[in-house]
């Protein structure tokens, strides 16, 4: 195959410069990666070997312009590995991941290139750089230092080995979790569905049909399927089966067991941190985050943990009392919590998920997210027909209030066996201006339950919140307004990147959004005010449980990556011991147990960084108060500051400075505690 015959390597002339997905096959990727890697190596070698004195133009800008073909091929490939994978693509991923790590090593451990960047950084005050250029130079210098560019040769060689091995292990981890998820389905008959409302039955029927089980029902390990079943099924025995399968992903023995991979990854990360002069991987990771130190992250988590645990204990007592009132002679177990919490919510608030869910149609919630973006930022979303990688995916052209093209947004919402679990935002193309006006192509990928044929897709309120969350990330990419690719969109610290997404969730609960878009699937009638009031009254219901299951993950993550010498780590024992140390309630399980904790180990983007969601929540709770203080959730002046300093600013500023530019000050934890209903909870002692 010649490059001219490879659809990944030719010029993409279709609408919006999209890849020709209909022509791309797995066999096209390896030769495309081979050529793109070779071209990028040649570009890097030319920069490093340049005999002219280092300048911002011939070093930093040239670096920024290099590797465009590799970026293009990689973006297509990793879109498919996440959202539309298969055996052939997974095999290529296992080969390509260490190759890309090796390529990154060759760049950031290149002594001549590192010397040029270091020289420019030393002379930064004499170069006449504007603020954005100075930020780009600072970030490149930091990247080279943190990658080991200043170390001696033996240390660099060992770092390179570690990075390659971690890349392979991360790929294997994610593929193992996906394999366990694909392998499991609880096939049910009509008589097994006691308690399941119509929408849950329809989703289970569609899942069974997808697996060739016509006339039956299937519960899968997609979160929307599992949690719905645990919430509604009256069959305690079946709830336990589903729950145990869900929490055992990556821990079933055999070739897909992830525990040995985790132990090796934690040891390698600790070794890498030591080589770079840090006491632990957690110290290394947080040194370049907004939090700066593990101690700062722990201070926040500890403040929340004691209050959350106290509230969870009160919730547990109420659920156990309900079991007793019904004549149940058993102690509340983890697979019971969601079921009895839903029953108690109905009893306390006269609120039934089956009554709520018909008002949260997927299409209407997408419209609600778009309308919020129009009112805040002047954006308009128009459906367009373009070739995409799967029939489920849908595309929208995005324009501003003047009609100027802003970018393309792609939403891919339904769970399927070819898609990894979870929800995420990614990009096929990032915004920048260094190579002309480059407009972004942004994707949101979710895993909502597919409806029966001819039926509307219905979301839970939590699903709708997830949709708004990922769309907030999407806006962070779409609204980016920077010159240099390194600073574009979501390329910010992980404990700041969740601010735009978590903040956007608040607008789902703005009454005028719900009144206009929460419309019944059968009648199109808006949600009655009385029902809306009851729904909003439950904002803090169950927050003890939700906060405990999240915060436990963040604490265990920090503890695991704070180990200075992990040694022969027994992953299961470490998890059990650490949860015992923090006095984890026995009836609650971590939201992500270590064997399937993909945030930490399927690439490691949140390793020693899962605290970031709560760190950002402190910011988002305070940020929304800026709108509430004006009396208008769409206040134009506040929205403009939000756009200028958060959503469109990429990594132009240090995160703390960006937040202060928007809000005028840094936030305190009070707004978060109030948002979660923990402000009045008496904190239990925290064991540090």
- Sequential DSSP letters for 225-248: HHHHHHHH---HHHHHHHHHHHHT
Task: Round to whole Å and give the CA distance between 425 and 442.
Answer: 7
Q: Which two tokens stand for residue 98?
A: 């260490």
Q: Which two tokens stand for residue 574?
A: 């470490």
Q: How far is CA 631 from CA 450, 624, 626, 636, 640, in A?
A: 38, 11, 9, 12, 16
Alpha helical stretches, state H, 50-126? 62-65, 68-83, 87-108, 111-122
**Could you identify the residue written with the tokens 């029927």?**
205
Query: Which residue in 96, 99, 31, 95 sits closest to 69, CA to CA?
Result: 31
**Could you identify the residue written with the tokens 């590799």?**
70
**Could you identify the residue written with the tokens 């089956």?**
354
Q: Residue 557 in contact with residue 582, Cβ under 8 Å? A: no
Q: Which two tokens stand for residue 533?
A: 């009031």
Query: Which residue in 165, 164, 160, 163 sits closest to 261, CA to CA?
Result: 165
**3-state class (DSSP) for residue 66:** coil
Identify the sign of the CA torsion 244, 247, 253, 254. positive
**Could you identify the residue written with the tokens 């407009």?**
439
Q: Which two tokens stand for residue 459?
A: 């979301």
Task: Sort 129 into a burial class: Cβ within 10 Å, 0-12 / 13-18 / 19+.
Answer: middle
One of 164, 303, 470, 575 is an active-site residue; which one? 470
pLDDT of residue 567: 83
- Give one word for 254, left, alpha or beta, with left for phi > 0 and alpha for psi -120 to 50: left
pLDDT of residue 56: 98
**Could you identify the residue written with the tokens 């995420």?**
424
pLDDT of residue 686: 52
Q: Which two tokens stand for residue 436?
A: 């002309």
Task: Round to whole Å and give the CA distance between 271 and 266.
Answer: 9
Query: Which residue in 476, 427, 482 sits closest to 18, CA to CA?
Result: 427
Task: Round to whole Å and give the CA distance between 111 and 131.
Answer: 27
Query: Which residue in 110, 91, 97 sits closest to 151, CA to CA?
Result: 110
Task: Sort 196 into a burial class: Cβ within 10 Å, 0-12 / 13-18 / 19+.
Answer: buried
**Could you identify the residue written with the tokens 């204990």?**
313
Strands 186-188 and 217-219: antiparallel
pLDDT of residue 683: 55
Q: Which two tokens stand for residue 96?
A: 């390509």
pLDDT of residue 354: 86
Residue 138 is among the residues annotated as catalytic for this protein: no
Q: Which two tokens stand for residue 548?
A: 């405990």
- Other Cβ atoms closer than 10 A to 146: 16
Q: Which two tokens stand for residue 509?
A: 């609960």
Strands 441-448 and 405-414: parallel
pLDDT of residue 32: 98
SS3 content of the chain, % helix, strand, coil (to 5): 60, 5, 35
Task: Round to whole Å and give the CA distance between 194 and 229.
Answer: 10
Q: Which two tokens stand for residue 598?
A: 């993909």
Which pairs from 114-120 meet CB under 8 Å and 24+ separation?
114/144, 114/149, 114/150, 116/47, 116/48, 116/50, 116/54, 116/59, 117/54, 117/59, 117/60, 117/141, 117/144, 117/149, 118/144, 118/149, 118/150, 119/54, 120/54, 120/55, 120/56, 120/59, 120/60
| Gyration radius (Cα) of the chain, Å | 25
Q: How far is CA 613 from CA 310, 312, 501, 681, in A?
A: 21, 20, 10, 21
User: All domains of the chain, ordered by start, with CATH?
Assistant: 3-108+110-147 (1.20.1050.40), 184-248 (no CATH), 358-536 (1.10.1370.40)
Task: Round to whole Å and give the CA distance between 449 and 463.
Answer: 10
The pTM (predicted TM-score) of the whole model is 0.94
Q: Which two tokens stand for residue 219?
A: 């519960």
Q: Residue 357 in contact with residue 199, Cβ under 8 Å? A: yes
pLDDT along the chain (688 residues), means of 10: 90 96 97 98 98 98 98 98 97 96 96 97 98 98 96 96 97 96 96 94 93 95 93 98 97 97 97 97 97 97 96 97 96 98 94 91 98 98 97 98 97 95 96 96 96 91 96 98 98 96 97 95 94 91 97 98 92 98 98 97 93 96 97 98 98 97 95 89 53
């Amino acid at each position: 195959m010649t490059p001219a015959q490879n659809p990944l390597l030719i010029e993409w002339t279709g609408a919006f410069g999209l890849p020709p997905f209909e022509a791309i096959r797995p066999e096209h990727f390896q030769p495309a990666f081979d050529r793109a890697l070779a071209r990028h190596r040649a570009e890097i070698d030319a920069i490093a070997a340049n005999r002219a004195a280092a300048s911002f133009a011939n070093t930093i800008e040239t670096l920024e312009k290099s590797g465009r073909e590799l970026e293009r091929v990689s973006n297509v490939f990793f879109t498919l590995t996440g959202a539309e994978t298969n055996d052939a693509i997974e095999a290529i991923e296992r080969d390509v991941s260490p190759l890309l790590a090796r390529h990154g090593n060759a760049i950031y451990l290149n002594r001549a290139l590192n010397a040029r960047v270091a020289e420019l950084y030393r002379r930064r005050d004499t170069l006449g750089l504007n603020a954005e250029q100075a930020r780009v130079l600072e970030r490149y210098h930091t990247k080279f230092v943190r990658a080991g560019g200043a170390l001696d040769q033996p240390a660099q060689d060992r770092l390179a080995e570690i990075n390659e091995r971690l890349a392979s292990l991360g790929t294997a981890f994610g593929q193992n979790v996906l394999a366990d998820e694909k392998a499991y389905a609880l096939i049910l008959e009509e008589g097994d569905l006691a308690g399941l409302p119509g929408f849950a039955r329809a989703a289970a029927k569609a899942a069974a049909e997808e697996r060739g089980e016509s006339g039956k029902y299937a519960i899968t390990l997609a979160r929307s399927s599992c949690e719905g079943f645990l919430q509604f099924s009256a069959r305690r025995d079946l709830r336990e089966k589903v729950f145990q399968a869900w929490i055992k992903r990556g821990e079933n023995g055999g070739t897909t067991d992830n525990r040995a991979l985790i132990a090796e990854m934690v040891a390698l990360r600790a070794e890498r941190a030591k080589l770079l002069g840090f006491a632990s991987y957690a110290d290394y990771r947080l040194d370049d985050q907004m939090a700066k130190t593990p101690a700062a992250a722990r201070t926040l988590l500890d403040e929340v943990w004691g209050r959350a645990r106290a509230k969870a204990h009160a919730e547990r007592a109420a659920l156990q009392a309900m079991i007793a009132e019904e004549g149940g002679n058993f102690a509340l177990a983890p697979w019971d919590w969601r079921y009895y919490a839903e029953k108690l919510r109905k009893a306390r608030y006269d609120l039934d998920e089956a009554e709520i869910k018909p008002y949260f149609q997927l299409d209407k919630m997408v419209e609600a997210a778009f309308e919020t973006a129009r009112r805040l930022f002047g954006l308009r979303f128009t459906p367009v027909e373009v070739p995409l990688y799967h029939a489920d995916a849908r595309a929208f052209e995005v324009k501003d209030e003047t009609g100027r093209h802003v970018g393309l947004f792609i939403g891919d919402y339904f769970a399927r066996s070819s898609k990894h679990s979870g929800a995420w935002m990614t990009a096929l193309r990032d915004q920048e201006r260094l190579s002309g006006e480059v407009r972004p192509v942004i994707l949101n990928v979710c895993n909502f339950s597919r409806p029966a044929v001819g039926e509307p897709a219905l979301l839970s309120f939590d699903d709708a919140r997830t949709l708004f969350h990922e769309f907030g990330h999407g806006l962070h990419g779409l609204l980016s307004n920077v010159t240099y690719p390194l600073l574009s969109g979501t390329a910010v610290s992980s404990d700041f990147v969740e601010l735009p997404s978590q903040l956007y969730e608040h607008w789902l609960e703005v009454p005028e959004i719900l009144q206009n878009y929460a419309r019944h699937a059968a009648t199109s009638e808006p949600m009655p005010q009385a029902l809306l009031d009851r729904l909003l009254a439950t904002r803090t219901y169950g927050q003890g449980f939700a906060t405990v299951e999240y915060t436990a993950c963040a604490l265990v993550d920090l503890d695991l990556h704070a180990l200075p010498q992990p040694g022969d780590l027994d992953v299961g024992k470490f998890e059990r011991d650490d949860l015992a140390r923090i006095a984890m309630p026995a009836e609650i399980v971590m939201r992500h147990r270590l064997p399937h904790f993909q945030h930490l180990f399927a690439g490691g983007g949140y390793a020693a960084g899962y605290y970031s969601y709560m760190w950002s929540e402190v910011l988002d709770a305070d940020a929304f108060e800026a709108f509430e203080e004006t009396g208008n959730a769409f206040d134009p002046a506040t929205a403009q500051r939000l756009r200028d300093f958060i959503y469109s600013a990429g990594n132009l500023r240090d995160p703390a400075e960006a937040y202060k530019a928007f809000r005028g000050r840094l936030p305190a934890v009070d707004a978060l505690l109030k948002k979660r209903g923990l402000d009045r909870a008496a904190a239990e002692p925290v064991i540090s």
